[in-house]
C-alpha cells in the first residue's frame, strides 16, 4: 500500500522534473540559440524562454504537482478507509 | 512636498507599520519563536517566503546586473526561481512531515549523529552571515543616497528595527512583518516599471512591454537594444557571450543552492499540514515571479534609457541623477578626449576598474579620480551596476513620490531578508548547538531566552558587517550558493530518497562537497585572482558555477563511502518511511 503510494509519487516527480529540466536548461540554455530563429512579437523565442517563459512554467509545474499529489493523497486515504472497514 | 521629505514620510510610515505588527504578534514559546506555532496560512506563508527570499540583491542589484549582462543575466532569473520547483517537489513536503524546528535537526536525526548536525550548523551559519552582510550594504546605500544620513547611522537604525521585531516576535513576528514588507516592496518595484514601460513602449505591462515596439516607431525595443549595444562595442543584448557549460553550471548551482538555503527551507516548517507546504511553495513562487518577470523588462528599459540620456551629452548639462550618484562615488567620468561630452562604450573606463576619488574638480566640474584613463578603449564612464534600479525612476524623470517609494521598497527587501536570516542563525545556535548538543537539560523558557540572546548577538555582528563592510561581499555570494548546493541540498535530498545512506556516507559527502567547492572558490577569488578567467577554470566553469560540480562530487562520495559501512539502524528506516507517507 505505502509502496504503491511512493511509486506513484516517484512517477509524478520524474515526469515533472523532466519538464522542469527541459524548459530551463533545454529551451533556456542548450537549444536557446536554435530557438532564437523563431520570434514572438519582439522576443526571440530562446531569449524569451530564458528570461520569461521558464519562470511562468515553473509556477505552473508546482501547481500541477499540488493538484496531482492532492488527488493521490485522497485516493490513498480512501483505500485506507476501505481496508479499515474490512 | 519635495522628494526628500516624501522619502522620510514613506520610510517612516513603513517602519511604524513593521513595529506595530511586531507588538501585535509577540512570540510566547519556542514553538512560536522558531516556527510560528505551525499556524501560518499557506498564502501568507507564500508572501512571507517571497519577502524573505527577495533580498537587497534581488531588489537593487539584479535588474542592474542583467541590464549590463543581457542574455547572460538569465542565469539569475532561472536560477533563483527554478530552485523553488526542486524545493516544492523534492524537499518541502517531506521536511514539513518530519516536523522539527531546524535544518540541522533533520540532518542530525536522519544520520543519527551529532557530528553531521555540527557540519550542517557550520555550513548554515557561514551561508547565512554571507547573506546578511549583503543586506546591510543595501540598507547603507539607500540611507546615504535618499535620506542623506550617514551610512553608519542608517545601519544602526536598520539594526534597531530588526532587533525589535526579530527578538521580540521570533518567527511569528517576522512572518507577519514580512507579509507587510512583501506588499511594500512589490508595489515599489512595479509602479516605476509600469510607468517606464508606458513611457518607452506605450504598453502598461512591463513583461509584454519589453517585447513591444518603441513609441512612435516600428522598431522592436530589443532589436534597437541589440543594435545600440553592438554599435558601442558590447556583445549584442539578446545573445550569450559566456560559454554554455558555464551558463549551465551557474544556473544549476543557483537552483540547487536556492533549494538548500536554510532560511528558505525553514519557512515550510511553519504551515499546519504537509499539503499546505506544497501549496505554500507554489504561492511563494507566484509572488516571486511577479518581481522576477518584471526585472528583465526593467533591465532592458534601464539600459536603453541610460545610453540615451548620457551619450554625447555635455557633462555640465548632464542629468541631475548623474551628478548625484557621482557625489556618492558610484558613477565616475574621465574626459579622455577632452571635449566636455560624455562618451559611453564597452570596456573599463579607468585602469583598475573602480574609481579612486581625490579632492578637487576637473575642467568641467567633475570629481577627479587618481586612476589613469584606460587607453585601450574610448569609454569615459564608470557606473556601479547596483544603482540601476534606484536611479531608474530618476533617469526616466518620474515624479518624486515614485522615487520615495523605491527607497521604502528597497529597505523592505533588505530588512525582511536580514530578519529571516538572523532567525535561522539564532535558532541553530540555541536549538542545535545548546539544546540538542551541549546543554540538553535547559527548559523551554531558558531555550527561548537563549534564542533571543543569540538573535541579538547575530544582529550586532550583522550591523558590524554593515558599518565595516568586508571588501569581499560580492565574491562571497558565490560561496553562499555554492556551499548550500554542495553540502546542504544533497544531504537533505539523499536523506529522503535513499534510505540506505548511512552516517559515514553523509558526513564524507558533505565534507568533500564543502572542501572541493570552497577551495576552488578561494583559489580563484582570493589567492590567484589574476588567473580568474575561462582558460584556467576547470572545464571552463567559473567559481560561481562550481557548486554544481561540488554537489555531484558530494553525491558520488556519499554513495561510495556508504556502501562500505553497515546499514543505518532500524529506527532511521522507520523515520524515512514515515516522512514519505502523506
Q: CA-nearest residue of chain B to A40?
A: B211
Judged against a pLDDT cut of 70, whether residue B27 lies above it is answered with no
Contact A45, A39 (CB under 8 A): yes
Q: Whole-angstrom Cα distance, residue B31 to residue B38? A: 8
| Chain Cα centroid distance, residue B237 | 24
Q: pLDDT for A63-81, tens place per residue? A: 999 999 888 888 887 777 6
On chain B, the residues whose CB falls within 8 A of the CB of A5 are 581-582
Q: Is B212 on the interface with A (CB under 8 A)?
A: yes
Average pLDDT of the residues of chain B: 81
Q: Domain ranges in chain A? A: 18-77
**In whole angstroms, how large is the CA radius of gyration of chain A?**
19
Mean pLDDT of B552-578: 85
Question: Residue A55: left (phi > 0), alpha (psi -120 to 50), or beta?
Answer: alpha
Q: Whole-angstrom Cα distance, residue A55 to residue A60? A: 9
* Residue A61 binned pLDDT confidence (cut-offs 50, 70, 90): very high
* Residue B531 binned pLDDT confidence (cut-offs 50, 70, 90): low
Q: Is the Cβ pair A73, B88 closer than 8 Å?
A: no
Q: What is the pLDDT of residue B157?
A: 80
Domains and CATH numbers, chain B: 3-306+397-580 (1.20.1730.10), 307-395 (no CATH)
Q: pLDDT for B537-549, tens place per residue? A: 777 777 788 889 9
Q: What is the pLDDT of residue A21?
A: 92
Nearest to A20 among B74, B77, B85 (CB): B85
* Residue A15 binned pLDDT confidence (cut-offs 50, 70, 90): very high
Cell of B521: 572558490
Judged against a pLDDT cut of 80, whether residue B277 lies above it is answered with yes
Work out the minimum CA distance from B218 to partner chain A, whole angstroms.
Answer: 11
Three-class SS state of B238: coil
* Residue B553 binned pLDDT confidence (cut-offs 50, 70, 90): very high
Question: Phi, psi at residue B235, to the nearest 5°?
Answer: -70, 145
Q: Whole-angstrom Cα distance, residue B254 to residue B82? A: 9
Average pLDDT of the residues of chain A: 84
Judged against a pLDDT cut of 80, whether residue B449 lies above it is answered with no
Mutate to test the interface with A, among B282, B541, B575, B579 (most CBs of A within 10 A): B282
Q: What is the pLDDT of residue B490?
A: 92
Judged against a pLDDT cut of 60, whether residue B283 lies above it is answered with yes
Q: What is the pLDDT of residue B378?
A: 79
Cell of B548: 554544481
Dmax over Cα atoms in chain A, in whole Å? 63
More confident site: A2 or B185: B185
What one-character DSSP code corresponds to residue B369?
E
* Residue B252 binned pLDDT confidence (cut-offs 50, 70, 90): very high
What one-character DSSP code corresponds to residue B350?
B
What residues pair up with B381 in beta bridges, in sequence order? Answer: B333
Cell of B299: 533591465
Q: What residues of chain A have any CB closer than 8 angstroms to a CB in chain B?
A: 2, 5-6, 9, 13, 16-17, 20, 24-25, 28-30, 32-33, 36, 40-44, 47-48, 50-52, 54-56, 58-59, 61-63, 65-66, 69-70, 72-73, 76-77
Q: What is the pLDDT of residue B238?
A: 77
Q: Whole-angstrom Cα distance, residue A23 to residue A52? A: 11
What one-character DSSP code corresponds to residue B582?
-
Amino acid at each position: 500500500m505505502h509502496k504503491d503510494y511512493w511509486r506513484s509519487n516517484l512517477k509524478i516527480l520524474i515526469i515533472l522534473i523532466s519538464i522542469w529540466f527541459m524548459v530551463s536548461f533545454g529551451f533556456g540554455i542548450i537549444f536557446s540559440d536554435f530557438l532564437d530563429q523563431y520570434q514572438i512579437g519582439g522576443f526571440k523565442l530562446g531569449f524569451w524562454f530564458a528570461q520569461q517563459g521558464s519562470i511562468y512554467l515553473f509556477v505552473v509545474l508546482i501547481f500541477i504537482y499540488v493538484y496531482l499529489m492532492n488527488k493521490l493523497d485522497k485516493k490513498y486515504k480512501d483505500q485506507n478507509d476501505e481496508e479499515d472497514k474490512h | 512636498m519635495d522628494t526628500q521629505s516624501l522619502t522620510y514620510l514613506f520610510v517612516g510610515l513603513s517602519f511604524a507599520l513593521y513595529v506595530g505588527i511586531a507588538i501585535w504578534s509577540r512570540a510566547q514559546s519556542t514553538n512560536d519563536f522558531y516556527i510560528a506555532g505551525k499556524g501560518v496560512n499557506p498564502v501568507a506563508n507564500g508572501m512571507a517566503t517571497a519577502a524573505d527570499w527577495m533580498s537587497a540583491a534581488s531588489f537593487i542589484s539584479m535588474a542592474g546586473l542583467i541590464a549590463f549582462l543581457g542574455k547572460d543575466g538569465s542565469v539569475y532569473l532561472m536560477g533563483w526561481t527554478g530552485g523553488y520547483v526542486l524545493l516544492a517537489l523534492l524537499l518541502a513536503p517531506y521536511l514539513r512531515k518530519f516536523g522539527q524546528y531546524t535544518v540541522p535537526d533533520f540532518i542530525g536525526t536522519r544520520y543519527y549523529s551529532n557530528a553531521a548536525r555540527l557540519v550542517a550548523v557550520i555550513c548554515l551559519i557561514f551561508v547565512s552571515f554571507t547573506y546578511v552582510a549583503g543586506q546591510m550594504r543595501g540598507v547603507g546605500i539607500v540611507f546615504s543616497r535618499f535620506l542623506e544620513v550617514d551610512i553608519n547611522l542608517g545601519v544602526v537604525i536598520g539594526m534597531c528595527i530588526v532587533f525589535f521585531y526579530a527578538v521580540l516576535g521570533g518567527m511569528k513576528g517576522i512572518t507577519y512583518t514580512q507579509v507587510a514588507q512583501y506588499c511594500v516592496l512589490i508595489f515599489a518595484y512595479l509602479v516605476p516599471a509600469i510607468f517606464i514601460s508606458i513611457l518607452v513602449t506605450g504598453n502598461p505591462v512591463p513583461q509584454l512591454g519589453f517585447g513591444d515596439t518603441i513609441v512612435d516607431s516600428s522598431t522592436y525595443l530589443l532589436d534597437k537594444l541589440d543594435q545600440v549595444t553592438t554599435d558601442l562595442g558590447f556583445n549584442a543584448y539578446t545573445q550569450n557571450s559566456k560559454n554554455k557549460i558555464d551558463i549551465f553550471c551557474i544556473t544549476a548551482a543557483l537552483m540547487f543552492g536556492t533549494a538548500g538555503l536554510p532560511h528558505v527551507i525553514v519557512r515550510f516548517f511553519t504551515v499546519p499540514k504537509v499539503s499546505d507546504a506544497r501549496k505554500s511553495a507554489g504561492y511563494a513562487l507566484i509572488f516571486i515571479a511577479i518581481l522576477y518577470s518584471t526585472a528583465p523588462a526593467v533591465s532592458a528599459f534601464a539600459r536603453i534609457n541610460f545610453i540615451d540620456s548620457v551619450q554625447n551629452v555635455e557633462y555640465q548639462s548632464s542629468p541631475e541623477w548623474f551628478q548625484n550618484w557621482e557625489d556618492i562615488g558610484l558613477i565616475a567620468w574621465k574626459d579622455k578626449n577632452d571635449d566636455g561630452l560624455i562618451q559611453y562604450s564597452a570596456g573599463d573606463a579607468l585602469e583598475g576598474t573602480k574609481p579612486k576619488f581625490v579632492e578637487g574638480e576637473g575642467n568641467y566640474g567633475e570629481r577627479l579620480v587618481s586612476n589613469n584613463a584606460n587607453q585601450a578603449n574610448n569609454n569615459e564612464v564608470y557606473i556601479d551596476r547596483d544603482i540601476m534600479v534606484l536611479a531608474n525612476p530618476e533617469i526616466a524623470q518620474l515624479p518624486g513620490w515614485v522615487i520615495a517609494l523605491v527607497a521604502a521598497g528597497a529597505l523592505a527587501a533588505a530588512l525582511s531578508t536580514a530578519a529571516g536570516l538572523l532567525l535561522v542563525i539564532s535558532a541553530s545556535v540555541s536549538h542545535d548547538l545548546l539544546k540538542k548538543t551541549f546543554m540538553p537539560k535547559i527548559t523551554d523558557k531558558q531555550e527561548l531566552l537563549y534564542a533571543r540572546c543569540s538573535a541579538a548577538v547575530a544582529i550586532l555582528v550583522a550591523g558590524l558587517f554593515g558599518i565595516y563592510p568586508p571588501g569581499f561581499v560580492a565574491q562571497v555570494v558565490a560561496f553562499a550558493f555554492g556551499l548550500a548546493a554542495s553540502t546542504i541540498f544533497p544531504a537533505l535530498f539523499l536523506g529522503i530518497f535513499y534510505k540506505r545512506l548511512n552516517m559515514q556516507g553523509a558526513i564524507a559527502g558533505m565534507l568533500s562537497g564543502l572542501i572541493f567547492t570552497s577551495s576552488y572558490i578561494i583559489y580563484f577569488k582570493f589567492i590567484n585572482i589574476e588567473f580568474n578567467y575561462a582558460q584556467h577554470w576547470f572545464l571552463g566553469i567559473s567559481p560561481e558555477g562550481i557548486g554544481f560540480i561540488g554537489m555531484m562530487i558530494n553525491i558520488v562520495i556519499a554513495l561510495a563511502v556508504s556502501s562500505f559501512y553497515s546499514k543505518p539502524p532500524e529506527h532511521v528506516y522507520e523515520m524515512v518511511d514515515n516522512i514519505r507517507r502523506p
